[in-house]
Each structure stands twice: as C-alpha cells, then as structure tokens.
Amino acid sequence: MIALHAGPEPAPRRQLFVGTALACAGIITLFGGMLATWMRMRTNAIDATGEWLPRKVIVPEVPSNVMLIAFLPLCIFAQWAVYAARRDDRPNAGLALGLTGLMGLAVINGMVFTFNQIRLPVAGGAYNSMFYAVTGTFTLVVVLGVVFTVVCLFRYLGGRSTDREIVSAHALYWYVLAAVFAAVWFVVFVTK
Amino acid sequence: MTTIETHATGTAGQPHGSHSVAVVSGTVSTGGLVRWITATDHKLIGRMFVGVSAAGGLGVAVLGVLLGIDRLAADHSVLGLGVVPQLFGAYRVALIYAVLVPALLGLAIAVVPLQLGARSLAFPRLAATGFWLWLIGLILVVITIAANGGPGGGDRKMVEGFLAAHIVVLLGLFAASLALAASVMATRAPGMNMRRVPPFSFAALIGALVSVVALPMVIGGLIYSLVDYRYGGSAFGSSKELWDHVGYGFTQPLTFGFAVAVFGIAIDGLVTSTGKRLPMRGTMFLGFGLVGLGVLGGIVQFAAGVRRNLFDLSFGTALSDIVPFAIVQLLPLLGALIVFGLGGLALSKGRPQASAGAVLGMLGSLLIVAAMLANALYHIGDARLGGTVFEEGTRLYVGYGAVVAVIGGVTHWAPKLWGRMVPTKMVIPLGMLGFVATVLASLPYLIAGFAKQPADAVVFDYSGPKALWNALSLIGHVLMFLTIIGFILVAVGSLTSRNADDRPDAADDPWNGQTLEWATSSPAPENNFAAVPVVTSPEPLLDLKQEAARSA
C-alpha cells in the first residue's frame, strides 16, 4: 500500500492577514499611480500655462489637517483592539473597534466637509476632475475600512472573540490607509 | 487512516498505473445552473475562467480577421473609419483582459490548490465574485462598444459606460488574482516551503502578484479618465485619447508579467514528462521572478527606451537611458532565458514523453521569448519603430503564445479537472497549428513595422508588399480561430463522451507525476484531499514511488 503520511490539521497561516496585506499592496499602487499622474499633470500644466490650481479656488487646509490628525488616534484605537483581543478582553476590544469606526466616520465627514467648502465644480478643468477623482477614491476606501470595522465588531459582539487574526488584518488596513492619506494630504492638499 | 489511499488502478489510459495513489474523499458536486452561479470550488471557478476566455480568444481572432480584411484594402476602409478605432480598442482589451490574463489565471485557480496540497482556494467566494465581476464587465464592454462607446466612440454615455465596465473587468481580475496569490502564500501543505512549491504554482504566484500590483494602477488611470470624460474631458482628452494615460496596461513589458505562468506550464510539463527531479529550483524561480519584473513597465508608467542616436549622446545621458531600459526591458528576457536554459538541463536528464503540457508549454514560452526580443528592439530609438504595427505584432506573440500554452496546460491537467483524458495526439498538432498561426499573425507586422505601417490604422501607404504582410497576418488569425475551435471540439468531445471504450476515464496519475495533484483521484473531489498531506521534498509523489520501488 502506497500512501503519503497524514498531516496534522492545516497550519493556521493567517490567510486573512495575507489577503488583507495583498489588498493593501493594491491600494498603495492605486494611489501611488494616481498621485504620480497628478504630479505629472501638475508639472505639465505649470510648464505650459504657469497655472495648475484654478484662480479663486482655496483648498480648505483645516479639515485636511484634521483628517490627518484623526488617523493617529484611529491607528491607536485599531492597535488597542489588537492588544485587547490578544488578551481576550472583549469589552476593551469592542470599545476600541467602536472608536475606530467612529474615527473612520469622522474622516469621511471631514472629506465631505472639504467637498462642500472648496466650492469647486467637477467640470471645468484638469485640476477639478483630478481632485475629485483622487479624494473620491480615497473616501471610497475609507468607507470600505469602516465596513471592515463594523464586520470585525459584529464578529466580536457575536461571540467570535477567539478570532484575533481579523483584528490584526483590520489594524493593518487602517495603518496603510493612514500612510496613503499622508501622501494624498501632502500632494493634493499641501503642494496642491 | 492515511491521507492518501491506493485504490484500484489499471484503468485504460493509465500508462503508469502501478504506483498510482489517490485520495478517496468528498463528493463531486451535482450539476445545475445554481451550482455554477454559486460555485466556490476552485476547479469550477477556474474552468469558468478558462471557458469564457476561450470564447474571448475566438472573439479576438474574429476581430483580427475583420481588421485584417480592412487593412488589405490599404487605401480605404471597408468597415468605416468611425468604427475602426473602436474595433482596435476592443481587440486590444480583449487580447489582454479577456484572453491572456483570465486564461492563465483560470488555469492556475483550478490547478494550484491541488499542487499545494490544499483543500480549497483561499477566499473562494472572492475568486467567484471576481469571475462574475469580470464576466459582467466584459459583457458591458462589448455592449458599450457595439453602442458606439469605446475609444473614438461618439456616444458620450456609452464611452463613460465603456470606461466604467473596464474598471469592473479589472476589479474582477484583481479579486481573483488576490485569492490565488493568498492561496500560494497561506494554504500550502505542512512542510511545503516556498522552494518546494511546484514550478507552475510558483510562476502563477508571480503572475498573480503582478496583477495585484499593476491592475490597481490601471484602474486609477481609468478612474481619472472616467471622471474627466464625464465632466468635459479637459485633462485626459477626447474619447480618441482614452488610451493615452493607461496604455502601459495593455502592452509590453507588463504583459510579460501577466504571462509568466506560461513558463510554469512548460517547466511543470517538462519535468513531469521526463520523470526526473527539477535541477536548480532556486535559480529557476529567480528566472520566473525576473520575468515578473515586467510589472515595472506598469509601475514606472513610461516607455523605458533608448533614445535615437545613442552613440552621439554624452556618457551620462546614454547611461540614464540604458539603465532603465536594461531593468525594464531586458531583465524579463534574462529571466526567460534562465528558465529556458534550466528547462533544457531538465530535458537532458531524462527521456521525455511527448506530453501536451511540455510541448505546447515550451512552444508558448518560445513565442513569449520572441515577443521579449521584439519588444527590446521596439524600445531602441534608432530602430524607429514607435507608432507602427510592430507593437501589435509583439502583443500578439504574447497573447496567442499564452493561448497555445493554456491549450497544453488544460490538456495536461484535464484528468484532475474533468476526470477525462483529452487526447494528446490530437491536441499537440492543434497546438502546433496555433504556434504557426501566432507566427503568421505576428511576424508580418514586425516586418511591416520596419516599413512604417502605422499602428491602429487601416488606411496607410508605404513602399513594399503591404498586401502580402497583411494577408499573411489575416491567415494567422484565421488559423488561430481554427485552433481554438478545434481544441474546444476535441476537449468537449472527450469530456462529454459516454463511450467508455472511445474516451476512457482518466487514471489518477496518467503522466507518472511527481507533485501532489497526481496523488488525488481523477477528477479531484470537491475538497481535493481527505486530510492535508505532509510534504518533505519538492517531489513528494516521486519520493513515494521511489521508496515503493526500493522496498519492492
């Protein structure tokens, strides 16, 4: 009789964490490509006409700075959830995840506030359409992050508190989003 | 209980039945439309990808024929100049994103978990969602182009729809690629480290990572184009200029990164056909990785070429051209040559059987190496090939080369996917016809490129036998159409035949394989393995057979 030896139960190789890391790699290249195109178009426009940002348009810097600052506690809360989950501390993990979601909503609110404040029509020029394309796409990935947080939270509230991998993957996602927003903030809101 | 039990062998079509081992577990699912729609079995998802991309291949060949007919009458357009840009657009999208990427991805999704000793794909629902997104997006792309959308289209709403559908297509491929890459990274059997992963699985991992990294960049470009076009088109131009900012996603060297799994099919087929262990696996994997560096073509978003009059340039200026050119254009070629060299070494170690995986995989790889050489030439400024059909010829080498290899791969792994043998004696000649078709479709455009036949145009003039080159290419497309149709007929005939004498059920290990997929029953049951096997070498099944032979 020829047979391969039976193995133990499949080793937990953190599929969800690996999958999230790959998705994060995709998000990084998505925004890396978009910001690279932004900078190229900006340089071309300045070389051609000396102007990139339309006149009379004032980019609201306060909400963008607040969003950047909001990512700091957001990451801390996400890591707090990981810390609590590792210690089977359900109340703290739940609280941390709730606060993470709240901060995510604050970032979305900040972006919507920016859209209202900037008074920039989508039609009307390269800057206009590209501004909304970059910031709109970023808002979309933040919304996905909030959904991820809600799923995490429900799993915890539902009693699956031993499933710590999802909390780690969730924290990784927000770390990457924080790094991506730092780049968006610098290119779109600071150098404009 | 052991993981893998022997069971009765000696089935017809079993040349190496004496050492066959198989898992007896799980059930093969029942039929029905619902089963296809809700499929989470990786073999089914992979088969759906391959099946639809076969239809895509037929579509590309038909478009090639239509455009070829139009190019034969070089002084006027038969189809109408308003339609031609859209057909060229569809031709380009379909070759890369309806044939090249999904066909290789589908084959990998179907086979890789079996090779890894995994019971399922990581994130099977994500992969299934990816398939449906891709399919729906593809249907929408066809509809929008037919309704005067697409590049150069006159209906604004349809052009917007085309861009949005295109994003959906790429999102679907991204999702499926992510599931595949995560599978190789996180679902391998105990003991199977990265050096022990079978060549096809490793190459498929590289191809999936290329997609995970590169497709979002193309999606980003398409989002810009969509928003801009929707609100006036002041930044990214009219519908005729839609491709200008995402063109890198449809051309070389990025397509080499997508096609790296072709080399995996060749090496896996070759190693299985010789029955010997693969020498210098680490170097071989390095070769796959270098081919995957074609992804840099997507990341840098510019044509890393050498400008004209290179020898008149200062040393520093010349170097600033040569270094990016060497990294982006030549390293993938070096990787392919390493793979070929080690493949030759593997071949010299044994007496290979003529298997479809080995023969057609090698032919497909050869076509892609030809594309790499042509692409390097295309980016040398002094060759003055920019804006000519030379690039289209190179792209066809890659796309059709992948078709030839996938035909070999499907035939090789058909026993595990359908439980039936596809007759090698019929498939190898068909694949060879596909090889000839590819050369005929592509090579004339390389020659016409030197004569300055413009790209994406049906009205042109140059001195030379322009009708001859375009007629030869047209014949190549016709032959490719016949190749794909022929293979579909042979495969469907074999897989659906109820005549047991005519088309026998496949044995569990018909090729005397070395890797884990040949250790389960044919067709592989829904969960692949009753229990996850332990792996102690890159060729676990060969170990077992040698051990059995020694003890006998």
Tokens of A133: 């394309």
**Distance (Å, rounded) from C-alpha B374 to C-alpha B370?**
6
The pLDDT confidence band at residue A9, using thresholds 50, 70 and 90, is: low
Contact B190 A8 (CB under 8 A): yes
The pLDDT confidence band at residue B51, using thresholds 50, 70 and 90, is: very high
Q: Is the pLDDT of residue B22 over 60?
A: no
The minimum CA-CA distance between A35 and chain B, rounded to whole Å, is 9
Cα nearest neighbour of B300 on chain A:
A33
- H helices, E strands: number in chain A: 5, 0
Q: In this predicted structure, what is the pLDDT of residue A12?
A: 55
Q: Cα–Cα distances in Å, from A79 out to A25, B291, B355?
A: 20, 38, 53
The pLDDT confidence band at residue A100, using thresholds 50, 70 and 90, is: very high
User: Out of B31-45, B361-375, B433-447, which region has the weakest mean confidence (pLDDT)?
Assistant: B31-45
The pLDDT confidence band at residue B356, using thresholds 50, 70 and 90, is: very high
Residue B107: φ, ψ to 5°: -60, -40
The one-character DSSP state at B197 is S
pLDDT in tens, B458-492: 999 988 898 999 999 999 999 999 999 999 999 99
Q: In this predicted structure, what is the pLDDT of residue B14?
A: 40
CA angle B514, B519, B524 (to 5 degrees): 125
Contacts of A32 in chain B (CB under 8 A): 217, 299
The one-character DSSP state at B329 is I
The one-character DSSP state at A89 is -
Residue B523, preceding peptide bond in cis (omega within 30° of 0): yes
Contact B228 A133 (CB under 8 A): yes
pLDDT in tens, B203-246: 999 999 999 999 999 999 999 999 999 998 777 777 777 777 78
HSE value, Cβ hemisphere, 13 Å, CA-based, for B315: 0
Q: In this predicted structure, what is the pLDDT of residue B221?
A: 93
Contact A9 B544 (CB under 8 A): no
The pLDDT confidence band at residue B424, using thresholds 50, 70 and 90, is: very high
User: Out of A24-38, B101-115, B160-174, B483-497, which region has the weakest mean confidence (pLDDT)?
Assistant: B483-497
The pLDDT confidence band at residue A190, using thresholds 50, 70 and 90, is: very high
**Distance (Å, rounded) from C-alpha B51 to C-alpha B102?**
10
Q: Which of A6, A22, A23 sits opposite B3 (nearest CB)?
A: A6
Q: In this predicted structure, what is the pLDDT of residue B526?
A: 86
Contact B232 A129 (CB under 8 A): yes
The pLDDT confidence band at residue B83, using thresholds 50, 70 and 90, is: confident
Q: What residues contact B536, with CB distance under 8 A and at least 6 apart? A: B191, B543
Q: Is the pLDDT of residue B21 over 60?
A: no
Q: In this predicted structure, what is the pLDDT of residue B36?
A: 86
Question: When comparing pLDDT for B325 and B7, which is higher?
Answer: B325
Q: Is the pLDDT of residue B511 over 70?
A: yes
Q: Is the pLDDT of residue B374 over 90?
A: yes
Q: In this predicted structure, what is the pLDDT of residue A14?
A: 87
Q: In this predicted structure, what is the pLDDT of residue B485?
A: 97
Do the Cβ atoms of B252 and B375 come closer than 8 Å? yes
**Distance (Å, rounded) from C-alpha B153 to C-alpha B155?**
6
Q: Is the pLDDT of residue B275 over 60?
A: yes
**Quick check: B194 contacting A, CB < 8 Å?**
no
Query: Look-up: residue for tokens 């044994």?
Result: B350
Tell me what the pLDDT averaged over chain B comes to. 89
pLDDT in tens, B289-324: 999 998 887 777 777 888 888 888 888 988 999 999
Average pLDDT of the residues in A99-107: 97
Contact A26 B531 (CB under 8 A): no
The minimum CA-CA distance between B46 and chain A, rounded to whole Å, is 19
Contacts of B3 in chain A (CB under 8 A): 3-7
The pLDDT confidence band at residue A110, using thresholds 50, 70 and 90, is: very high
Q: Is the pLDDT of residue A161 over 80?
A: no
pLDDT in tens, A17-26: 999 999 999 9
Q: What residues contact A162, with CB distance under 8 A and at least 6 apart? A: A88
Q: Which of A7, A122, A125 sits opposite B531 (nearest CB)?
A: A7
Q: Please, where are the H alpha helices in B240-355? A: 254-258, 260-274, 281-292, 296-299, 315-325, 331-348
Please name the residues between 262 and 301 in chain B that touch chain A, using a CB distance below 8 Å: 299, 301
Contact B223 A29 (CB under 8 A): no
Contact A130 B235 (CB under 8 A): yes
Q: Is the pLDDT of residue A28 over 80?
A: yes
Tokens of B541: 């099944």
User: Out of B42-56, B113-127, B398-412, B501-515, which region has the weakest mean confidence (pLDDT)?
Assistant: B501-515
Percent of chain A with pLDDT over 90: 79
Q: Is the pLDDT of residue A187 over 60?
A: yes
**Quick check: A12 contacting B, CB < 8 Å?**
no
**Quick check: A137 contacting B, CB < 8 Å?**
yes
**Distance (Å, rounded) from C-alpha B108 to C-alpha B126?**
15
- What one-letter code names the amino acid at A52? W
Cα nearest neighbour of B120 on chain A:
A10
**Quick check: B257 contacting A, CB < 8 Å?**
no
Do the Cβ atoms of B329 and B378 come closer than 8 Å? no
Interface test mutation site (partner B, options A1, A2, A127, A168, max chain B beta carbons within 10 A): A2
What Rg value do the Cα atoms of chain B yield, rounded? 23
Q: Is the pLDDT of residue A7 over 80?
A: no
**Quick check: A44 contacting B, CB < 8 Å?**
no
**Quick check: A46 contacting B, CB < 8 Å?**
no
**Distance (Å, rounded) from C-alpha A86 to C-alpha B255?**
43
Contacts of A137 in chain B (CB under 8 A): 220, 223
**Distance (Å, rounded) from C-alpha B422 to C-alpha B427?**
8
Contact A26 B216 (CB under 8 A): yes
If phi > 0 it is left, if psi is from -120 to 50 it is alpha, else beta; for residue B179 that is: alpha
Report ipTM for this prediction. Answer: 0.94
Average pLDDT of the residues in A61-89: 95
**Quick check: B232 contacting A, CB < 8 Å?**
yes
CB pairs under 8 A between A and B: 156
The pLDDT confidence band at residue B7, using thresholds 50, 70 and 90, is: very low
The minimum CA-CA distance between A101 and chain B, rounded to whole Å, is 24
Q: In this predicted structure, what is the pLDDT of residue B5?
A: 37
**Distance (Å, rounded) from C-alpha B266 to C-alpha B252?**
21
State the angle between helix axes of B356-378 and B260-274 in degrees (0 to 180), rounded to the nearest 10: 150
Q: Which residues of B49-67 are buried (b: 16+ CB within 10 A; e: fewer)?
A: bbbbbbebbbbbbebbbbb
